[in-house]
Amino acid sequence: MTLTFQKEVAERIEAPVMSAQRCRLSIMCQNWCEVQHRFNIPGRAFVPKPKVDVGVVHFKPYKTPIIPLPFQLVEKVATAIFRYRQKFVRKGLETLFPDHCSEKLVTEILQKSEIPQENRSFQLSLSEIGRICCAYKNIIEKSPALYKFKYNSEDRNWEENERNSDIIDQNLKNNIIYSNF
Angstrom CA distances, 86 to 18, 74, 120, 126, stand at 12, 20, 6, 18
* pLDDT higher at 92 or 175: 92
Please, what is the end-to-end C-alpha distance for the chain in angstroms? 38
* CATH architecture of the domain with range 71-173: Orthogonal Bundle (1.10)
Tell me: the pLDDT tens digits for 103-131?
999 999 999 999 998 999 999 999 999 99
Domain boundaries, the chain: 2-61, 71-173
The pLDDT assigned to 158 comes to: 54
∠ at Cα 31 (14, 91), nearest 5°? 85
∠ at Cα 126 (62, 16), nearest 5°? 95
Tell me: the pLDDT tens digits for 11-61?
999 999 999 999 999 999 999 999 999 999 998 898 888 889 999 999 999
Across residues 144-156, what is the average pLDDT? 78
pTM value > 0.75: yes
